[in-house]
Structure 1
Amino acid sequence: MFLRAVAMAAAVLPVLASAEPLSFDQALSLAVQRSEAARAGRAAITSANESARAAGQLPDPTLRAGVDNLPATGADRFSTTRDSMTMKRVGISQEWLSADKRAAREGAARAMADREAVQSATAEADARLQVALSYVNAWYAGEALKLTIQTEHHLHEEFEAARARLAAATGASPQVLQLTAARGMAEDESDDARQLQSAAAVNLQRWVGFTPESLSPPPVFVIPPEDDFLARSPSVAGLQRDLEVARRAAAVAAKERTPNWTWDVSYGQRSGYSDMVSVGVSIPLPVAPSQRQDRETAAKLALVEKAEAELAEATRAATADYRALASDAARLQQRVDRYRVAVLVPAQQRIAATLASYRSNQTPLSTLFEARHAEVEAQRRLLALQRDLARAQAQLTFKPLAQGGAQ
């Protein structure tokens, strides 16, 4: 626990000390380090590995001690030395498992350890996915706030210009009233954007442990191919391990059809007579294997079939999930490209043309401000599309297990 705290502090302190923006990779690392689910998964791996090491061992031998033929009545009652038949005995017995049976049990335990490893990797993948989505939301919320503040600033400039033009007039003109209402709406939009940014920052803090002053732009996410996505899908990888566990359990059940023998040896001591050594073996008799052992094996084989069906269903679901996300990402990319060319670029060109016309006294100032507002709104809409695109790409990138997590 102490070493874990030191590691997290080492990751956080450089960011806090230098006041540098929190990077996306730093957020991923902090989320995995702070994830209690991931820590629980690592503990489960340790437990399963220890159990697997013990599964292949023989059972502990049993120490046996006692007194045989002790008189219970008469003058010699409860005496261990007067009657020649009384014998003090000490011995040891050992249940014997064949090498094949021990190997089958160890294989089943190893399969469970592999399943725990996948579950731990799944917890880490979920931490990375959640912090990635939180990071994207927080960064785009910050960018949206900048745009609303820019709109508020433009409206303030327009309001002051209109009020200066009408300073000598009595009363309030409709233009000033309209600008007053528009400025109030812009201020409310800024407050709403601040609220969204605050909520996004709190959600990000849940994963990284502190509220960063600023964030670096998210990276360009590399979308994996479908086969790779399926191979590293948490649900598919987990059910593959469940299937292996079921198969190993069926193999153990099949081996249990052969009973375990128990060997024992004991040494008996008598008074005045020769000591004795006893050797024996206990062999369970499977009198009705078709009603017991075979049914146990059949039950385990049914669980294998169940695991196979669940794996097939999970594969279909993961395939549909990938294709839906990939389709959303492709369509959003097309919309972003089209919106940038068809809406944002003309809005920027409109500002340039309106500014030139304003400088030549051919266009009023209100027209220039209107062009600015239209360009800011286009940027906000484009920002929302880019955020949705980044979220879809992040899900495609971070839903699967990390490289090697499904091995």
Structure 2
Amino acid sequence: AGQAWIDLAYASRRLAAIDAIIRSLRALPPAARTAVSSGTARPAQSLGIDQAIAGLEDRRAELVAAVARARAMLARWTGVQAPEIAGDVPAIDLAPVRLRAALEQHPDMISADAGIRRTQADVDAARAEKRPDWGAEVAYQRRDPRYGDMISAGVSMSLPLFAGSRQNPRIAARQSAEAQAEAQREETRRTLAADLEAALADHQMHHSQWQRAQRVLLPLALERAELETASYSAGRASLTDVIDAKAAFADAELTALEREAQVASDAVRLTITFGSDDR
């Protein structure tokens, strides 16, 4: 459900962002027609706006489908028909130290520990068979008055004879099973640790890419769009320059949201898969 919520939240944000870009581009055709009529722009340049809008409309259709898929998946997990996103997206805060510390509580590790305990119990039982055992029994029998009541007592003892061919091989087999269980536990631990470190490396890469898009690429694209629009108003830039700049800004904004969504998905997946001791 957490992943479905993230998918719906970010698909909705990307859809809202592309709608805003399309609205800004749709304000340009009147200016383009005026420029063509006055001879300051070529007729072909006005077609660039329609091409840019058409391209963004294709991306918008993909986002509409993504929103519908995410909403259907969230409805599946929550049982709520047509669920909506309420509130802001939670802050992305992943603590690798806590995830590493929680590995010992992973279900696979708990299962491996239970397997070791079972084999240890089997070893103890096999060793117990090698030790002499004795038992005592006391019985009271109420019989016919002609014969009188009777009390009986007995002592029994079992001797582990032929230990070399009976008990010792059984103990060795149980000890071998215990060693295999311990080796399997270590293999499980190493596999989980490697999977966690690989996932954390991907998360760090995605986080760096998101921060770069948010702090560098998006501000540069916005500044370029603003400068080209100002230059166009002053007659120093063409309409094509404005269209290209706004389309580049749209790409940068959607890319930043996609990268942020990837980082959030990483956090959800890591928390669900590996857990944390404060979950």
Q: TM-score, normalized by length of structure 2?
A: 0.79
Is the 8 Å Cα contact of residues 129 and 160 (structure 2) preserved in structure 1? no
Distance between the aligned counterparts of 1:200 and 1:157, measured in 2? 31
Distance between the aligned counterparts of 2:48 and 2:229, measured in 1? 22
Superposition deviation, residue 213 in structure 1: 1.0
Other-structure match for 1:228: 101
Other-structure match for 2:40: none
Other-structure match for 2:248: 374
Quickly say closer, same or farther: Cα 1:152–1:253, change in 2 above 3 A.
farther
Per-residue CA deviations over 1:175-203 (Å, capped at 9, x if unaligned) read: 55554454343333222112122222233
Would you say 1:293 and 2:167 are equivalent positions? yes
Would you say 1:255 and 2:125 are equivalent positions? no
Other-structure match for 1:91: none
Superposition deviation, residue 229 in structure 1: 4.5
Q: Secondary structure at the match of 1:399?
A: helix
Other-structure match for 1:338: 212
Superposition deviation, residue 214 in structure 1: 1.1
Would you say 1:212 and 2:83 are equivalent positions? yes
Distance between the aligned counterparts of 2:216 and 2:134, measured in 1? 79
Q: Tell me which amino acid in the other structure corresponds to 1:147.
A: A
Aligned positions of 1:30-179 closer than 5 A = 131-159=1-29, 162=32, 174-175=44-45, 178-179=48-49
Is the 8 Å Cα contact of residues 112 and 181 (structure 2) preserved in structure 1? yes
The one of 234, 238, 253 equivalent to 1:360 is 234
The one of 193, 198, 202 equivalent to 1:324 is 198
Question: Percent identity at matched positions?
Answer: 23
Superposition deviation, residue 146 in structure 1: 1.9
Give the gaps of 5 or more residues in structure 1: 1-130, 168-172
Higher relative contact order (CA 8 A, sep 6+): 2
Distance between the aligned counterparts of 2:111 and 2:68, measured in 1? 36
Quickly say closer, same or farther: Cα 1:264–1:404, change in 2 above 3 A.
farther
Distance between the aligned counterparts of 2:244 and 2:124, measured in 1? 76
Superposition deviation, residue 293 in structure 1: 3.5
Per-residue CA deviations over 1:70-93 (Å, capped at 9, x if unaligned) read: xxxxxxxxxxxxxxxxxxxxxxxx
Give the gaps of 5 or more residues in structure 2: 38-42
Higher share in helix: 2
Distance between the aligned counterparts of 2:152 and 2:29, measured in 1? 109
**Aligned-CA RMSD value:** 3.3
Distance between the aligned counterparts of 2:10 and 2:96, measured in 1? 24
Distance between the aligned counterparts of 1:246 and 1:142, measured in 2? 53
Distance between the aligned counterparts of 1:341 and 1:252, measured in 2? 65
Superposition deviation, residue 217 in structure 1: 0.5
The one of 221, 229, 233 equivalent to 1:347 is 221
Per-residue CA deviations over 1:257-277 (Å, capped at 9, x if unaligned) read: 444736352414125221222
Would you say 1:239 and 2:112 are equivalent positions? yes
Per-residue CA deviations over 1:51-85 (Å, capped at 9, x if unaligned) read: xxxxxxxxxxxxxxxxxxxxxxxxxxxxxxxxxxx
Q: Secondary structure at the match of 1:261?
A: strand
Q: How many residues align?
A: 271
Q: TM-score, normalized by length of structure 1?
A: 0.57
Distance between the aligned counterparts of 1:191 and 1:254, measured in 2? 71
